Amino acid sequence: MSPPLLDVAGLNVRFATSTGAVHAVRDLSFSLRAGESLGIVGESGSGKSQAVLALTGLLADNGRASGSARLEGSDLITLDQQEMNRVRGPRISMIFQDPMTSLNPYLSVGRQMSLALRAHRAIGEQAARKEAAEMLETVGIPEAARRIEQYPHELSGGMRQRVMIATALLLRPALLIADEPTTALDVTVQAQILGLMSDLRERYGTAIIIITHDLSVVAGLADRILVMQRGEKIEEGPVDAIFAQPQQAYTRSLLAAVPRFDRPIQGTPPRMKHATKPILAAESVRVEFPVADRAWFRPRRLLRAVDDVSFQLEAGEILGVVGESGCGKSTLGRAVLQLVPVSAGRVSFLGADDAQSLRRDLQVVFQDPLASLNPRMTIRDVVAEPLEVHEPTMGDKDRTNKVADMLSRVGLDPSLMNRYPHQFSGGQCQRVAIARALITRPKLVVCDEAVSALDVSVREQILRLMLELRRLLDLSLIFIGHDLAVIRQISQRVMVMYLGRVMEIAAADQLFTNPQHPYTQALISAVPIPDPVVERARKREGLRGELPSPLAPPSGCVFRTRCAFAIARCATEVPALRLAGASQVACHRAGEVFQGR
Amino acid sequence: MLRFTLQRLLTGIPTLLVLIALAFFLIRAAPGGPFDTERQLAPEIEAAIRKAYHLDEPLPQQFARYLGGLVRGDFGPSFQYREYTVTELIVAGLPVSMTVGGLAMLVAVLVGVAAGTTAALRQNRMADHAVMAAAMTGISVPSFVMAPLLILLLAVGLRWLPAGGYGDGHWRYLLLPVLTLALPQIAYIARLTRASMIEVLRSPYIRTARAQGLALRTIVLRHALKPTLLPVMSYLGPATAALLTGSVVIEQIFGLPGIGRFFVNGALNRDYTLVMGVVVFYGVLIVVFNFLVDVVYGLLDPRIRHRT
């Protein structure tokens, strides 16, 4: 057997901090053959990113790496800056999580690519840009010659990540390190990018290290998996073995936390009780925003974030709203909360007659737990604040007692209530945010991506907590999210949105096992399945192309430009929601196309 | 772009009007007038003078008259320098102030950005501490202290340079005032640049550039400099306007015939038209330079460029 491309032995990473040394990576060893693909999996804080940053000399200034990492004979750990600069780019290149912040917003795409190329090869700017444009074509960016003159903010998230990949492959490196390459992307875009990476790997024979918290992402792409926890390697093995027979309890718990999409899942939400009365009704809701436009004398352009959305919510029901970024799901949530004005149609919340009781009965939990808590308020004050507004006569002591009671209900020790948000973990902060939302005993809570920022295992706990609280407190929930697995797990009924419009509404089981709308189909087929055998065999239908601009949505059916089943009628007539099977579907060809599936 | 320019300049007009009105009425509200002297003038003579300068008219009428003059580009006659109009005074002093101020700003930007970048790249090391200490000194020592010290050292002590005068703009005469004027600006720009560069160097796209194996020099010059200069730019606009209109202190100490002295003399002598003249001139410069800053912002940041 040929010697490995990369051989890491006894890698340690330590950070000197004001509170002492942090040992981020402990005694990590692994090796990688040329052309092989390794998935490094772990939750946040597992040291997976720090390990590869150490390999490329990109640790923060207070970080120190020790041990050895041999790449084709030279030890990466001992290289000085200049020698390292000859490795980075031509031998190893990297792509990062967030393609918006990882590309320089002040330089055109072509300029960034030519800088990367010309750092290692003596060629002129024109020649460099020509090569860059060819590479952009290779990674599936149409009109590369025009794109190359554009700036990152003019590209979609998926395009930006393609640009990152194209730049990384310009010099045909032997090893590509991808640090959470699809985490910031929508699921259909993720499917495109994963497909691209696997194509390029075949084409150039590049070895890949892909770092992720999401096991299903690496199921189809990696040959081997390495699982990390708290800086240490927990388990390593061929991808099939890791998925089929994980040896370690931690690996098993990681796998269990990933909901299987292709099978019915355990702990499905309670069945719907019938003949309950609706508590919320949205009728043809439209929300528009003026687009920031500084020119005078120009007609104000309106961005229609939500268009003609109608639904009802029953008391005690959990409605999932799912869609990709820019589909209007968060705006819809805000319209329900009456935080943004509705420009047409109406939202009526039954059972509250005035604004004060409306605010008490409608509460919200946001995505980023730390950012949505005031860092200068103690947990007690954060949770008690709604009480001060809605129960002004309540004594201080009573309030504190109520806060303590609510904190223990959400699984937090009430004795911690005088601490500040930054002293808690992300999951704990989200529990605080939930306690704050529930302290006024609301009837409806809107959860806007409430578990998206959390690690898988924590996510699981928070979801279970919400289901339990809903049962105990008789709540209705609107659960907004982009993650289909989460939505499936928690919702009774699911609404799928695209470009501000409802595509399909159906009971969760019905929607996920028998999707009627072509868009729902595409969304579901884009979700990676945590099973290497299934994943490798599966041919993704995927979504072609890019999301149209919401400022100029397509005529007729907004989805028609990316729909494989579009006919002439789709361009002229907006499809209304109608019953097809057990689902309500906004598609002219519903029933006809997916009959019998 | 043309539309953007016109828009910006148009929005400057109300700003200027407010400024003119404030200055016009405030200076007249101040006690005393332009023709108060220790020797009491005969009432009829004073009345005649006031009539000649239209000071006997009601204030709103005076204001309208002044605005009318401004539109025609006429700042009116100076009350104190009786032989000159305000326009003539400004035109005479402006080349001196602009030369000294412009050169000072140029030096300040070049040295300040270079020093700030150096400090940022050597964060918390010797070079950084040295630059920051020097900058602190530059900001805290006032120019009326710095100027005499430099004169003592370079003109009186070493006799390398003349101690004062304009010398028709010969570089030997310009060196000291330009240096004195530039020092605090260098200090300020260096501090701004350092803070901004440190911030930029921490951003993810710089990490990307490092991951591509770019040399530090390329990273700093090609990737980091543009975003670093954005916050510096917003300081440069008003600062340049202030420098170009001359520094009272510098012009007094070095005996330069610029327009800075008119600010003080005009105000002290209640020379209404002269004060108004310099205020309007300064206001226009501020508006123009803030506009230029916006234009440069657009050039530096494509996201701003595309919004317009």
Q: Where are the domains of chain A?
A: 6-98+176-257, 365-442
Q: Are B285 and A272 in contact (CB under 8 A)?
A: no
Q: Where are the alpha helices (DSSP H) in B122-246?
A: 126-140, 143-150, 171-201, 204-211, 216-218, 225-244
Write out the two tokens for A299. Answer: 């007609």
HEC string for B12-77: HHHHHHHHHHHHHHHHHHCCCCCCCCCCCCCHHHHHHHHHHCCCCCCHHHHHHHHHHHHHCCCCCE
Contacting residues of A for B227, CB less than 8 Å apart: 104-106
Q: For residue B211, which residues of chain A lie inside 8 Å, CB to CB?
A: 56, 58, 88-89, 93-94, 96
Q: Which two tokens stand for residue A480?
A: 């907004």
Of A86, A105, A292, nearest to B213 by CB-CB distance is A86
Report the alpha-carbon angle A13-A40-A236, nearest 5. 100
Contact (CB<8Å) B7/A167: no
Max mean pLDDT range (A260-264, B192-196, B264-268): B192-196
Instruction: Kindly determine whether residue B302 and residue A116, on different chains, have CB atoms separated by under 8 Å.
Output: no
Average pLDDT, chain A: 87
Element (H, E) at A476: strand A476-481
Cβ <8 Å between B302 and A108: yes
Start-to-end CA distance of chain A, whole Å, equals 48
Taking the Cβ of residue A298 and every Cβ of chain B, the question of whether any pair is shorter than 8 Å is answered with: no
What is residue B102's predicted lDDT score, i.e. its pLDDT?
92
Q: Chain B contact for A253, CB < 8 A? A: no
Q: How many interchain CB pairs under 8 A, A with B?
A: 93
Confidence of residue A226 (pLDDT cuts 50, 70, 90): very high
**Residues A275, A314 contacting (CB under 8 angstroms):** no
Cβ burial, residue A376 (10 Å; 0-12/13-18/19+)? exposed
CB contact under 8 A, A90 and B300: no
CB atoms inside a 10 Å sphere around CB B64 = 12
Q: Report which residue type is found at B267.
A: A
Band of residue A596 on the pLDDT scale cut at 50, 70, 90: very low
Strand order in the sheet with A175-179: A92-95, A175-179, A207-212, A37-41, A224-229, A232-238
The region of weakest confidence among A453-462, B121-130, B213-222 is A453-462
Chain B residue numbers with beta carbons less than 8 Å from the beta carbon of A294 are: 7, 307-308
State the average pLDDT over residues A435-446.
90
Q: Any CB–CB contact under 8 A between A113 and chain B?
A: no
Task: From residue A543, give the alpha-carbon distance in Å to each of A213, A487, A509, A561, B172.
Answer: 24, 20, 23, 10, 72
**Helix (H), strand (E) at residue A302:** strand A302-314
Architecture of the domain whose range is B86-307 = Orthogonal Bundle (1.10)
Please list every residue in chain A whose beta carbon sits closer than 8 Å to the beta carbon of residue B205: 101-105
pLDDT in tens, B139-177: 888 888 888 898 888 888 888 888 888 878 788 888 999
CATH number, span A6-98+176-257: 3.40.50.300
Residues in B touching A93 (Cβ below 8 Å) = 211-212
- Burial annotation A256-279 (CB, 10 A radius, 16+ → b, else e): ebbbbbeeeeeeebeeeeeeeeeb
- Record: contact B205-A101, CB cut-off 8 A: yes
Which residue from A minimizes the CA distance to B300?
A106
**Any B CB within 8 A of A98 CB:** yes
Among partner residues B204, B207, B213, which is closest to A87 by beta-carbon distance? B213
Q: How long a stretch of residues is chain A?
A: 597
Closest CA to A280 of A225, A220, A222, A321: A321
Instruction: List, for residues A514-544, the tens digit of each pLDDT value.
Output: 888 999 988 888 888 888 888 887 766 578 7
Please list, in sequence order, all residues whose beta carbon lies within 8 angstroms of the beta carbon of residue A220, skipping any fewer than 6 positions away: A194, A198, A528, A532, A535, A536, A538
Instruction: Collect all residues with Cβ–Cβ distance below 8 Å to A128 and sequence separation of at least 6.
Output: A113, A114, A117, A118, A121
**Chain A residue numbers touching B233 (CB-CB < 8 A):** none
Residue B308 has what pLDDT?
A: 47
How far off is chain B from A92, nearest CA to CA, in Å?
8
CB of A96 within 8 Å of any CB in chain B?
A: yes
Helix axes B2-29, B59-71, angle to 10 degrees: 150
Q: Which residues of A touch B302 (CB under 8 A)?
A: 105-106, 108, 151, 153
pLDDT in tens, A122-151: 999 999 999 999 999 988 888 888 889 999
Region B6-31: what's the mean pLDDT?
Answer: 86
What pLDDT was estimated at residue A578? Answer: 87
**Looking at this protein, which amino acid is placed at residue A74?**
S
User: Cβ contacts (< 8 Å) between B10 and chain A: which residues?
Assistant: none
* B219 contacts in chain A (CB < 8 Å): none
**Mean of the pLDDT values across residues A147-170?**
90
Instruction: Compute the C-alpha angle A569/A571/A572, nearest 5°.
Output: 70
Suggest the residue from B1, B11, B205, B305 to mutate for an interface test with chain A (most A CBs closer than 10 A).
Answer: B205
Contacts of A419 (CB under 8 A, 6+ apart): A378, A379
- B51 versus A204: which is more confidently predicted? A204
- Per-residue pLDDT band at A104 (split at 50, 70, 90): very high
At residue B138, the pLDDT reads 83
